[in-house]
Amino acid sequence: MKKGLLTLIIVAVVLIGGFVWVKNVYNGMVASDENVQAAWSQVENVYQRRADLIPNLVATVKGYAAHESSTLENVVSARAKATQVTVDPENLTEEAIARFNEAQGELSSALGRLLMITENYPDLKANQQFSELQAQLEGTENRIATERMKYNEVAKGYNTMVRTFPNNIIASMFGFEKKGYFEAKDGADVAPVVEF
């Protein structure tokens, strides 16, 4: 009788301990996944800020450089494409982030070309509204870099959690998958020449 009761107590303690461990690991993964999604939302937020600045920038440049219409159209087109490419926070794979990053990169290139043409228009460079928009755009680019770095840090913590043993067993049981990272484009190690 005592052996049976002792065995029952040991089994109950093991089951309760196992349940508590699984619950804690699962809840930790959920919290980490939420952090990744929040970080991603902030990345999208700063990209949206940049997209919102572009129409004002284009309108200001258009007033001074109307015959640069192809450059202006390229910026508007790249903005439209960049705002159409979205990533579901539940599906932050490397491929999805790469598509998003590519569309944003095209917009960055178009903006770079737009800002380069301003060299030919001293009146535009002296325009207060253009200067303010340019400063806001530069600040936004810095925010983008910061938020991308924060996202990568949070994603790294999450990925480490779901890939280490024995957490990887729980992760595979409940469908927690590795999140993608922002990665530098080829040639990103070479600084671009930007002149204002």
Write the CATH number for 65: 1.20.1440.20
Q: Can you give the residue range of the structural domain that contains 148? A: 27-174
48: its two tokens: 């949206």
Read off the pTM: 0.81
Lowest-pLDDT range of 51-60, 78-87, 121-130? 121-130
Whether 77 maps to a domain, the answer reads: yes
Give me the number of domains the chain comprises: 1
What's the DSSP call for residue 119?
G
Whether 6 maps to a domain, the answer reads: no
Range list of H helices, 65-127: 69-84, 94-117, 122-126
63-78 pLDDT per residue, tens: 777 677 788 888 889 9
